[in-house]
Chains A and B, each alone.
Chain A
Amino acid sequence: MIELNKVTYTYPFQKQPAVRDISFSVNPGEAVLVTGASGCGKSTLVRLVNGLCPHFFLGEFEGDIHRNGISCEAQTLKEISTLVGTVFQDPELQFFAMNVDDEIAFAHEWLGKSAEQIRNIVDKTARRLGITDILSASIHELSEGQKQKVAIGGVLSLAPSILVLDEPSANLDPESTRELARLIRELKARDIAVLVADHRLYWLEDVVDRVLVMDKGTIAAQGNFSILEEPECKEKYGLRSHRVEDVRQTLPSLPDTGHIHVENLTFAHKNAPLLYENISFSLGKGVTAIIGDNGTGKTTLARLLTGLSRMRQGKIFINGKPVPGKEVLKRSALILQNTDHQLHMNSVVQEIAMASGILNPGNVKKEGLMAILERFGLKHLAERHPQSLSGGEKQRLVIACGLAANPDIFILDEPTSGLDGRNMKRIADMIQSASDDGISVVVITHDLELLSKVCDAALRLPITARPAP
């Protein structure tokens, strides 16, 4: 059981507390959802529960936290770690080993358990989570859903009584999300107290018992899941939809002709069987979603469409004219999932200048660039360092950078992962606006809300060969 009583916490070097006067509890066998717009204090709340605040981040702490009846004052972080298990948004970042079994065994090896004991724990955990078939696999070969399971397995093998899940559905496809929901229900049945902090809400309706909506560091609303059904609550606190339609099967298929046409595409990875054989399709000027299970080649297709990977055979036509591979690269933009890799410069305005093809941003006329920033609501951040922006702002900046080069094809890989409702809507508006400007936009996403908001058609993988029209 976890109990917070009038907790206020301020990070070092900050004047304002990140959370103020927080009181709530999670009982054994209960699941509580914490949600709210970015910067509302959700992550700090998670850190307070797992002891990172104040033990790791230091700072000023007031109030009291009881974990299984023991006051936080009497506990070190190491002691708390035996009671509270935490799984992060990107589980790979918390892996210390390269193989699944070694990862589950890792914490136990540090606890000085015998090899025999650890083997039993690894086997038992794998059976419990249904991952026995991937025990010897590399963590790099796993899907996001499998990584999530391995991370949860590693944590559960330590037998915690409290489990904290930070943005657990951000990188998961709808099927893996459903599987996660089932797992949380199972953990509740085993009397584990579960705290979930997430932006995506639709999957939690039958999972959580209570909801805490945070705003500006305080609990602004709380109750059962039905409080999320109120439109004012969603609007006021920048939340995502509590119920989302799965449009993956209902989105129209691709048109027969379009702005971009791919003819007789054949491709295989090195030393691998053919992934695409002689396929042809057309992309219209709207927003197309690439839909398919893991391993069907969604990202590979995006790379081929942008000219980053070379086709074994096939041609790309833009506006009816064949375009060679190198030229395709110049006429397309691809926004990768990790925004950090795409930000290089000292300020937001320099980043836009670089993306516009200006090698010496110091000499650039600012007016044109400021107009681009204004269009995407980034003007007030022009002189800020790109790496100091929030997740939503970074995402908007990389999209603005992609559009600054006036591409014909614009591809976005999971552009709304980990974003709150307000930021998700802003990204959706940017995508829509690019599409309205006549660009063929392609979105690879597991975000059902984004799919239903902006996508006009779907390219479903795997594609079977069909002759060029």
Chain B
Amino acid sequence: MHVLSAAEPPTGGHGFVSGLDVRTKILLCLSMSVAVVFLKSFEPLAFLTLASLVYVLDIGRYKMVGMCYLAICFMWLLSMAFMRLIHSMSPMIPVTEPVKMLVPFLRTMVMFNTILALALSSRIQTLLTSLKSFRLPIWLYIPSAVMIRFIPSFIKDIRQIYETMRIRGYSFNLIFILRHPRLAVRLMAAPILFRALRSADDLGIAAELKGVGYGYSTENSRIESYTPLVFKFNDAVTLVAALLLLIAAGGIQAVWGTDTTGMLP
């Protein structure tokens, strides 16, 4: 995923989405996450899923998007199978229609499309800079920045732990996890836990020694980036388009929408 890289140009090429300001993409994620809470029917959610799919496909990572969609489809089929199994054991519980059962998965897909577009087309440093430009308070900025900053290190750690297991002759696959669930959790979790504790300590110390929060208590109330980000015409177009799409989805919900959350018939 591109979010692993900090300095390379976006792997999604020079498409429309890659050229957008990170703040635009974050706002899209936030607005979509709020919208899917209020939209309850298949029709408006399917509409937003299609619109957001076009958005994420602009990145050009078709294989990755396809694999994620396959995984979501698998989970949908699995949930239907379990629903039928429960119905066969207890006929009092009715079987939900497949389309209605899709509703929670469509919510996931909308979120997935917008977040994946953000992750695949943004550099971590730009994300950090955009956080600064939101002028967040210290208690919110530091944990958020540290979380984002450590994504590559975290992935590197997981890779190294996985490799250590391979070196020791353990294949960390599904069969191993099913046969030795406790051991599998221990093998993966123990080093990560200790590493996380050490990193937290080290970063806390580094923050203190760099005087983080010193200016905060004296002159300045917020951190501000020295590399300002600029909204462009395309960002404005995208935000307006997103607003229109949300209004349209609301309209579809009001006119054609059925009153279901998808979990009950």
Which residues of A are at the interface with B, using a C-beta cutoff of 8 A? 50, 52, 55-56, 77-78, 81-82, 84-86, 88, 92-99, 101-102, 105-112, 115, 118-119, 122, 136-141, 154, 158, 306, 308, 329-330, 332-334, 336, 338, 340-345, 354-355, 357, 359, 387, 401, 405
In the complex, are the beta carbons of B190 and A345 less than 8 A apart? yes
Beyond the given pairs A96-B203, A102-B125, A336-B160, 13 more chain A to chain B contacts, judged by CB atoms under 8 angstroms and listed by A's residue number, are A99-B7, A109-B132, A110-B216, A111-B211, A111-B215, A112-B215, A140-B6, A140-B152, A141-B7, A158-B211, A357-B168, A359-B180, A405-B169
Q: B14 in the interface, Cβ–Cβ < 8 Å? A: no
Q: B223 in the interface, Cβ–Cβ < 8 Å? A: yes
A359-B213 contact given A94-B206, A105-B226, A112-B219, CB 8 Å threshold: no
Stretch touching chain A among B25-33, B74-82, B193-201, B253-261: B193-201
A99 to B124, CA, bound (A): 9
The 8 A-B residue pairs with the shortest CB-CB distance, nearest first, are A112-B220, A138-B6, A94-B206, A98-B6, A138-B7, A112-B215, A118-B226, A98-B125
A290 to B97, CA, bound (A): 63
The chain A residue sitting closest to B164, CB to CB, is: A342
In the complex, are the beta carbons of A98 and B124 less than 8 A apart? yes
Kindly list chain A residues whose C-beta atoms are within 8 Å of the C-beta of B224.
109, 115
A97 to B124, CA, bound (A): 9
Q: B86 in the interface, Cβ–Cβ < 8 Å? A: no
In the complex, are the beta carbons of B214 and A81 less than 8 A apart? yes
Kindly list chain A residues whose C-beta atoms are within 8 Å of the C-beta of B146.
96
Task: Give, as a whole number of angstroms, the nearest-CB distance from B57 to chain A.
Answer: 22
Q: B129 in the interface, Cβ–Cβ < 8 Å? A: yes
Task: Give, as a whole number of angstroms, the nearest-CB distance from A383 to chain B.
Answer: 17
Kindly list chain A residues whose C-beta atoms are within 8 Å of the C-beta of B166.
308, 329
Task: Give, as a whole number of angstroms, the nearest-CB distance from A105 to chain B.
Answer: 5
Determine the main DSSP class of B at the interface with A: helix
Max chain B C-beta neighbours (<10 A), residue from A105, A107, A154, A330: A107
Kindly list chain B residues whose C-beta atoms are within 8 Å of the C-beta of A99.
6-7, 125
Task: Give, as a whole number of angstroms, the nearest-CB distance from A197 to chain B.
Answer: 15
Q: How many residues of B contact A (CB 8 A)?
A: 58
A81-B208 contact given A96-B149, A102-B129, A340-B191, CB 8 Å threshold: yes
Q: B228 in the interface, Cβ–Cβ < 8 Å? A: yes
Q: Tell me the B85-103 residues at the A interface (CB within 8 Å).
A: none
Determine the main DSSP class of A at the interface with B: helix
The chain B residue sitting closest to A338, CB to CB, is: B160
Task: Give, as a whole number of angstroms, the nearest-CB distance from B205 to chain A.
Answer: 6
Q: B119 in the interface, Cβ–Cβ < 8 Å? A: no
In the complex, are the beta carbons of A115 and B186 less than 8 A apart? no
A96-B145 contact given A112-B219, A336-B160, A344-B191, CB 8 Å threshold: yes
Kindly list chain A residues whose C-beta atoms are within 8 Å of the C-beta of B205.
52, 56, 94
Q: Tell me the B125-175 residues at the A interface (CB within 8 Å).
A: 125, 128-129, 132, 145-146, 149, 152-153, 157, 160-161, 163-164, 166-169
In the complex, are the beta carbons of B125 and A138 less than 8 A apart? yes
In the complex, are the beta carbons of B161 and A56 less than 8 A apart? no
A97 to B126, CA, bound (A): 10
In the complex, are the beta carbons of A86 and B209 less than 8 A apart? yes
Kindly list chain A residues whose C-beta atoms are within 8 Å of the C-beta of B213.
78, 110
A424 to B203, CA, bound (A): 28
Q: Of B7, B198, B204, B226, which one neighbours A108 at CB under 8 angstroms?
A: B226
Task: Give, as a whole number of angstroms, the nearest-CB distance from A40 to chain B.
Answer: 21
A340 to B194, CA, bound (A): 7
In the complex, are the beta carbons of A343 and B202 less than 8 A apart? no
* Subset of 6 A-B contacts with CB under 8 Å: A85-B209, A94-B210, A98-B123, A107-B211, A111-B211, A329-B169
Kindly list chain B residues whose C-beta atoms are within 8 Å of the C-beta of A338.
160
A141 to B152, CA, bound (A): 12
Kindly list chain B residues whose C-beta atoms are within 8 Å of the C-beta of A82.
211, 214
Q: B187 in the interface, Cβ–Cβ < 8 Å? A: yes
In the complex, are the beta carbons of A109 and B223 less than 8 A apart? yes
**What are the interface flags for B15-39 relative to A under an 8 Å C-beta threshold, 1 for contact and 0 otherwise?**
0000000000000000000000000
Kindly list chain B residues whose C-beta atoms are within 8 Å of the C-beta of A85.
209
Q: Of A110, A306, A359, which one neighbours B211 at CB under 8 angstroms?
A: A110
